[in-house]
Amino acid sequence: MVKAYRQEHVYKHPWERVSAASWRKFADPENKRILSHILEVDTLNRKLDTDTGKLHTTRALTIHAPGPWFLHRIIGQDICHCVESTVVDGKSRSMQLTTKNISLQKFIEVEERIRYDPHPENPSAWTVCSQETSIRIKPLSALASMAEKVEQKCAEKFMQNSVKGREVMERICKYMEAESAPI
């Protein structure tokens, strides 16, 4: 039982700015109110390949995911830890983020992949973001009998949060644009 969802979004900002905004997304205090489901973001590992310009980073996200009451009753906790693994290729200008839950894995696995690439039609000024989310309910878990309902709720939540995430990204981009504009 795997459900996958794809979304695409074009930012009318260069890749350099969008990828920088992605790093700031969870950290700027201004956005903490909007992305209030993100409680903590910690960087656990970083590796820069000084020859190839590849930057690997591992972050831990602590997420508040209360979910609907029927889920809460089964799972009994509403804090979820996730690992976010990122590779930025400075040479080819690509950024790839993969996020996976490490809590609640016996019930559900959610994997989210996000890529930021220069837009093929306007590579120096626009950026395309493609996002793929897959949700997998473990077949023998307590959630299996209501898998469809859980998946649907989960997907709705993801969509809501990704809309919020996009708004925040757009805002940071605008702010960074203003910051870098010549006076």
Partner 1 sequence: MGLLKKKDSTSGRSSTSPCADLRNAYHNCFNKWYSEKFVKGQWDKEECVAEWQKYRACLTENLDGKLLTRILEVDGELNPTKQAASKESS
C-beta of 45 vs 152, nearer to partner 1: 45
Among 7, 94, 134, 161, the residue binding partner 1 under the rule CB under 8 A is 94
| DSSP 3-state percent helix, strand, coil across the chain (nearest 5) | 30, 40, 30
C-beta of 21 vs 154, nearer to partner 1: 21
Residue 79 found at the interface with partner 1 (CB under 8 A)? yes
For partner 1, the binding residues in 36-55 under the rule CB under 8 A are 39-40, 42-46, 48, 50, 53-55
Number of H helices, E strands in the chain: 4, 7
- Tell me the closest approach of the beta carbon of residue 149 to partner 1, in angstroms: 27
Residue 87 found at the interface with partner 1 (CB under 8 A)? yes
Query: Are the CB atoms for 44 and 60 separated by under 8 Å?
Result: yes
Among 4, 66, 92, 106, the residue binding partner 1 under the rule CB under 8 A is 92
Range in contact with partner 1 (rule: CB under 8 A) among 92-100, 119-127, 128-136, 155-163: 92-100
C-beta of 96 vs 141, nearer to partner 1: 96
Query: Are the CB atoms for 171 and 14 separated by under 8 Å?
Result: no
The DSSP 8-state label assigned to residue 182 in this structure reads: -
Q: How far apart are CA 157 and CA 16, in angstroms?
A: 29
**Within a 10 A sphere around the Cβ of 58, how many other Cβ atoms?**
14
